[in-house]
Each structure stands twice: as C-alpha cells, then as structure tokens.
Amino acid sequence: MTTSRIRTYYGVSIGILMVNSTFQRYVGDIGNASTWNFPVQYKIVHDAVPSRMTELHEASLLDPFKRAADELIEAGVDGITTTCGFLSIYQKELADYCSVPVATSSLLQVPMVERMLPTGKTVGIMTYNGDVLNGPYLDAVEVDRATPVAGIPQDSNFVRWIKEGDTSVSYETLKSEVVGTAKNFVAANPDIGALVLECTNLAPFSHWIAEATGLPVYDTVTMVNAFQASLRPRAYPMW
C-alpha cells in the first residue's frame, strides 16, 4: 500500500502484536518469521503472557495492545494482526481505534467458511482451550455460539509447552496430540465440513490435520496471507 505518511521503515505491510511467550515457535507459527514470504514486523506486548490470554473476558489487556499497535502503525505497517486467536474479543475495539485494518484472530474466517459449505455441513473450531472459547470471544467476530468447538486437552504436553515455555517438548509429541484431537473431534461431529484453528500455535500442524481428517483447514496463515495480499495486491502484466 502506497501512502504519503511518514514512516520509520518501508515495505512492511503486516505488523504482528505478539504475546510475551518463550515456547518454541515452529515454521508455520505466526511468530516464526520464516513462515512468511513477505516481511513482517513484530511488537511484543509485555503484559500479555500466555496465562492471561484466556482470561480476557475477566481482566482487560486492551490498552497495552492499543499502545503496541500505535507503535507499529507510527513506524510504518499497513495492517495489524496478532499471535493469539482469543484476541477476537478485541476485534471491534482495535479496528475502531487503529488507523489501519485489523485482523485479530483466525476466527474471522468462520463466517466465510460456513458460506462455502453445503447445507447440512458446519465449521468446527479447534482451540487452545475449549472450556473458555465461547460467548464473548465468538460474539465479537459474529461466530454462532452453536458452532462445534474442541480444545486441546488441558493436561496435554501441548498446553504445558505453551503455558510453561517448555522447549523440551518435541514436535512429534505436539503433532501427535494435535492430530489426535482433530480426529476425535471430527469423529464425534460428522457434520463438520471444514476446520478453523483458533490457536496460532496449531498452524504448524495444519497439513497433518488436513491429511488425517480429509477436511479443509483454515488457520492464522491462511488469514494473514489473504490479509497481506489485500494490502499489497499483485501487479499483473497487461497480457
């Protein structure tokens, strides 16, 4: 996007508000810059530690996210996204506040994906914590509360990996837990026609989820790629 505003840096269309975490972020994770075929700019929101991200309906972190977004926009980004899908709860507030477009959560894709499916099929949401992803987190991005949701088991290595920043948990262990959760979810809900992954840390395993379930999978990568493509549309030759 070309604008006349003064910038500190140029050529970075996507700014990413980052949870203050220490776990390993594999390629495919929004927080691993190797995931992207375009430059991104990160800004850590220091108050936003993983344990607080599922409590946003009880204790607000909106102001720290606004301040961090201000810094990214002032420096030069053209759009804002985040590293946690639970930030859907702030979609309207951040979109109203920021001077550039904001896409807080991969959950923004759910209404679109629903309309792609035939009658009788529904979207299934996979999340970090299925006990919490309800009510305000869904309402904020116009997701029907009746949408099936499956959380990663809270006693899993996956959850411990994120909560405790345990870098000793292997990729294969995480993959096994995530894929197992997906298979059980789809088996229990045969009407699911596509999956949307709320948790940005599930995205490194999207390929394996799709392979195991036979379903389309939408995640933070599919959302941010589309978001960036709208900010920097491709130029085509005349013929």
pLDDT at 58: 87
pLDDT at 85: 97
Q: Position 181: which residue type?
A: T
* CA atoms of 142 and 77, how far apart (whole Å): 26
- Strand 122-127's sheet: what is its strand order? 149-151, 122-127, 192-197, 217-218
Nearest to 143 by CA among 160, 118, 162, 123: 123
The pTM score is 0.94
pLDDT string in tens for the chain (239-residue length): 445 678 888 889 999 999 999 999 999 999 999 999 999 999 999 999 998 999 999 888 999 999 999 999 999 999 999 999 999 999 999 999 999 999 999 999 999 999 999 999 999 999 999 999 999 999 999 999 999 999 999 999 999 999 898 889 999 999 999 999 999 999 999 999 999 999 999 999 999 999 999 999 999 999 999 999 999 999 999 88
Q: Position 1: which residue type?
A: M
* Contacts for 49 with CB less than 8 Å, ≥ 6 apart: 19, 20, 21
* CA atoms of 50 and 60, how far apart (whole Å): 14
* CA atoms of 11 and 145, how far apart (whole Å): 39
Nearest to 129 by CA among 183, 61, 54, 182: 54
pLDDT at 9: 84
Q: DSSP characters for 29-72?
A: BTT-GGG-SS-EEEEEETT--GGGTT-TTTS--HHHHHHHHHHH
